[in-house]
Amino acid sequence: MIIAERKPLEEIRGMISGCKRILVVGCGTCVTICWAGGEKEVGILSSQLRLVRLASSREGKKLSIVEAVVERQCEKEMVIEELRDKMQDVEAILSMACGIGVQTVADVFEEKPVFPALNTTFMGMPEGEGVWTEKCGACGDCMLYWTGGICPVVRCAKGLLNGPCGGTRKGGKCEIDSEKDCAWVLIYRRLEKQGRLDLMRKYYEPKNYRAVKRPGKIEALEA
């Protein structure tokens, strides 16, 4: 099971600054169980964002929020079925799911910026047969807001945080594995679609790998 916790309200507020209409979408599985991104948490965050925007003399703009919960944000079919009718006039999507859920929504709705409302902290390993593709390293310091919903920490073979290396192959392939796309080429193309290429000029500080202590533990207590 994937464990996550909500980002600070001020950080979330900064992501959606300037937006007038957003979609806040929770996930009905792991993050619901750990009390981070279920229906209740979607409602709480939405109410907090409305109140903060209303009280802010700096922004002074009413915030319209559409709320939804997808049973499993990590499954594209469910995301498409449950969200496609809610996208009208939405400027951005605030995902209350793990990093995999954020990236799934970002893959489905490539024209819309998708922001992470949670930090994915650690994952429980399923004990059965199966195949998984790693897209989130559960670093506890999510940067998907800056990289178009694509995680360079794990999708770049070198974990580079500031653009592609000099070995990027023709056609946007990785020099380590020519069968794989270069993560930073994917990030560039995604940001280009969203009109947010200015983020490619941002310098990212080295990762704080002490952000999450191992083994991870969160004790969620209801208020």
Q: pLDDT tens for residues 134-148?
A: 788 888 888 999 999
Exposure b/e, 103-119, CB count within 10 A at least 16 = b: bbbbebbeebbbbbbbb
Residues 90 and 103 in one domain: yes
Q: Is the pLDDT of residue 130 over 60?
A: no
Residues 190 and 87 in one domain: no
| Residue 214 in domain | no
Indicate the pTM of the whole model.
0.77
Residues 162 and 84 in one domain: no
Q: Is the pLDDT of residue 123 over 90?
A: no
Residues 116 and 191 in one domain: no
The number of domains in the chain is: 2
What does the pLDDT look like over 2-26, one tens digit per residue? 888 999 999 999 999 889 999 999 9
Residues 50 and 139 in one domain: yes
Share of the chain above pLDDT 90, in %: 62
Strand spans (E) along 92-132: 92-96, 114-116, 118-123
Residue 54 pLDDT class (50, 70, 90 cuts): confident
| Residue 211 in domain | no
Q: Is the pLDDT of residue 68 over 80?
A: yes
**What range does the domain containing 180 cover?**
146-202
What does the pLDDT look like over 86-118, one tens digit per residue? 998 999 999 999 999 999 999 999 999 999 999
Domain-terminating residue out of 145, 175, 192: 145
Residues 161 and 89 in one domain: no
| Residue 151 in domain | yes
| Residue 207 in domain | no
Residues 198 and 111 in one domain: no
| Residue 221 in domain | no
Residue 125 pLDDT class (50, 70, 90 cuts): very low
What does the pLDDT look like over 73-82, one tens digit per residue? 999 999 999 9
Q: Is the pLDDT of residue 57 over 60?
A: no
Residues 75 and 178 in one domain: no
Residues 20 and 86 in one domain: yes
Residues 91 and 155 in one domain: no
Residues 78 and 167 in one domain: no
Per mean pLDDT, which range of 13-22, 117-126, 142-151, 176-185 is the poorest?
117-126
| Residue 217 in domain | no
Residue-wise DSSP of 158-194: T--SSS--TTPBTTTB-SS-TTSB-HHHHHHHHHHHH
Share of the chain above pLDDT 70, in %: 88
Residues 26 and 115 in one domain: yes
Q: Write down the number of H helices and E strands in the chain.
A: 7, 6
